[in-house]
Each structure stands twice: as structure tokens, then as C-alpha cells.
Amino acid sequence: MTPDQMEAACLAAIPAGHGVTFTTPKGTAMPHGFPRGELLSENKQFVNRSYKPEKVLRWLRDNLLIEAVSDTAPSRRKTCLDTDIGTNQKLQDCAT
């Protein structure tokens, strides 16, 4: 599943108020820092886990796999490009 597909699944799950389910091959570990999921089922080949969509969106954004999508998953990292909200002036730019 691509980051864009994960983002779309999460954005669809938030208004419905339920988790998002991802299926992975059994024995496959999720990447470092990925949210913990609730085990739903497993068989000889696959594992199904349910995740909180807000946490998955935050992980995707914090790892620069997607752009910021909403206030429902605020970033825990400082952005490279900051603007002063009141004046809309650029405060910091990574290129400089």
C-alpha cells in the first residue's frame, strides 16, 4: 500500500469514527515508529490490524511521506518552513 493510499484510507475513516485496517504478510514488521495496531485476525499468511487513523496520518507526515492534511493529526516535529500566523512573514527557511 502506498502512502497516498494509506492517507486516503485514513481520511475516509476519520469522519466515520472508526479505525483503519491494514493487512500485512505474517512476520513482517511495520517501520520504526509506526503506531501500534490492534490485532484483529491472523492466519498462516497474513495479519490484520486496526490503527487509529489520526496516528497513522501523523506518522506519514512526520516521515515526510505526505503533506500536512488537517488539524486532526498535529505534527510533533518543527517544520522547516515556519511562518508567523499573524503577519504571514517567513521566519525560517531550511535553504538559508
pLDDT tens digit string along 58-80?
Answer: 999 888 888 765 555 455 544 44
Grid cell at residue 92: 525560517
* Range with top average pLDDT, 52-61, 67-76, 87-96: 52-61
- Mean pLDDT of the 9-31 span: 92
Coil, helix or strand for 40? strand
| pLDDT score for 86 | 46
Domain count, the chain: 1
Reported confidence tier of residue 82, pLDDT bands at 50, 70, 90: very low
In a domain, 82, yes or no: no
- Mean pLDDT of the 38-55 span: 96
- Mean pLDDT of the 20-35 span: 92
How far from the centroid of its chain's Cα atoms is residue 59's Cα?
4
In a domain, 95, yes or no: no
Q: Residue 14's domain spans which residues?
A: 3-74
In a domain, 81, yes or no: no
Is the Cβ–Cβ distance between 34 and 60 less than 8 Å? no
In a domain, 59, yes or no: yes
In a domain, 32, yes or no: yes
In a domain, 63, yes or no: yes
| pLDDT score for 64 | 86
Please, which residues bridge with residue 21 across strands?
Answer: 50
In a domain, 40, yes or no: yes
